[in-house]
């Protein structure tokens, strides 16, 4: 019975030591690159915001560019409606051009034009 208790106590102590070492290593900021990345911040805490920048953005009078409120956008209505119809009804689309069209130039059959005389 004593060997079983010794084996159990050695196993438990080994598990406890390994667990303690793992938690001690996880708390080390040089161990995990993700932890190091999260800890790098120019804020006081991770939940803190940049109040100075937020206040500066809030007090901007008009943050939009000058032309953002212009609703008179020049466009060709016929062309746009045709594109919409072609999008909705595939049968109205023009045929697609061939990627490699066949050679349509007349062939002389390898004989020069003046060689038959």
The reported pTM is 0.25
Which residue has better confidence, 33 or 89? 89
User: How do the domains of the chain map onto residue ranges?
Assistant: 1-62
pLDDT at position 55, please?
A: 80
pLDDT in tens, 20-69: 666 655 556 566 777 777 767 666 555 666 778 778 878 888 778 888 88
pLDDT at position 78, please?
A: 92
Q: Are 62 and 68 in contact (CB under 8 A)?
A: no
Q: How far apart are CA 101 and CA 117, in angstroms?
A: 35
Q: How far apart are CA 88 and CA 69, in angstroms?
A: 30
Terminal C-alpha separation, the chain: 119
pLDDT in tens, 1-34: 678 888 888 887 877 776 666 665 555 656 677 7
Mean pLDDT, residues 94-110? 72
Q: How far apart are CA 50 and CA 57, in angstroms?
A: 11
Q: How far apart are CA 32 and CA 111, in angstroms?
A: 78
């Amino acid at each position: 019975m004593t060997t079983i208790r010794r084996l159990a106590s050695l196993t438990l102590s080994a598990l406890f030591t390994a667990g303690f070492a793992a938690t001690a290593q996880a708390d080390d900021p040089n161990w995990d690159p993700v932890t190091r990345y999260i800890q790098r911040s120019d804020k006081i805490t991770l939940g803190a915001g940049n109040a100075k920048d937020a206040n500066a953005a809030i007090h901007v009078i008009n943050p939009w560019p000058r032309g953002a409120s212009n609703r008179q956008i020049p466009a060709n209505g016929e062309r746009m409606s045709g594109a919409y119809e072609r999008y909705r009804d595939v049968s109205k689309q023009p045929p697609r051009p061939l990627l490699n069209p066949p050679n349509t130039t007349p062939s002389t059959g390898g004989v020069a034009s003046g060689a038959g005389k």
